[in-house]
Structure 1
Amino acid sequence: MKARVTVMLKSGVLDPQGEAIRHALGALGFTGVEGVRQGKVIELELGTTDRASAETEVKAMCEKLLANTVIESYRVEIA
């Protein structure tokens, strides 16, 4: 079973990397981009076949290691 975790800065938290990307896109001629939020995607290969326990386990991983829940939010997808 696979899990995909998407981690993004919470809204209201300054995103300097996103701002740098927005600025670079403008310099390359891509006008109309008013905002960019940069995040990360983590893909996990899990040894379980139980979807509910996999989701519970991955959420625990996020809370303990994969995301800084003070400033980041995360989304878990199980496939």
Structure 2
Amino acid sequence: MKAIVTVMPKAGVLDPQGKAIEHALGTLGFGGVGEVRTGKIIELELAETDPAAARAAAEAMAKKLLANTVIESFRIELA
């Protein structure tokens, strides 16, 4: 089973990479772009076949390693 973990900075946390992209898009003539936030997507191929157990495993991985939960939030999707 595949678990997709999306990690994003929490609201209010400075995102310098997002600000740089926002500025570059404006410079390139792409108007109307509001705030840009950057994150990461991590795809995990899990041996687990039970969706609840797979979600629990992915959540544990995100909390322990994949996301810095002080400044980042995460979302898990199973595919």
Unaligned 5+ segments in structure 1 are none
Query: What count of residue pairs does the alignment treat as equivalent?
Result: 79
Please tell me the residue identity of whatever aligns with 1:17. Q
Unaligned 5+ segments in structure 2 are none
Divergent runs of 4+, >2 A: none
| Separation in 2, partners of 1:32, 1:5 | 29
Name the residue aligned to 1:23: 23
| Separation in 1, partners of 2:35, 2:55 | 31
When the two structures are superposed, what TM-score results if normalisation uses the length of structure 2? 0.98
Residue 78 in structure 1 maps to residue 65 in structure 2: no
When the two structures are superposed, what TM-score results if normalisation uses the length of structure 1? 0.98
Identity of paired residues, percent?
68
> Cα offset for 1:34?
1.7
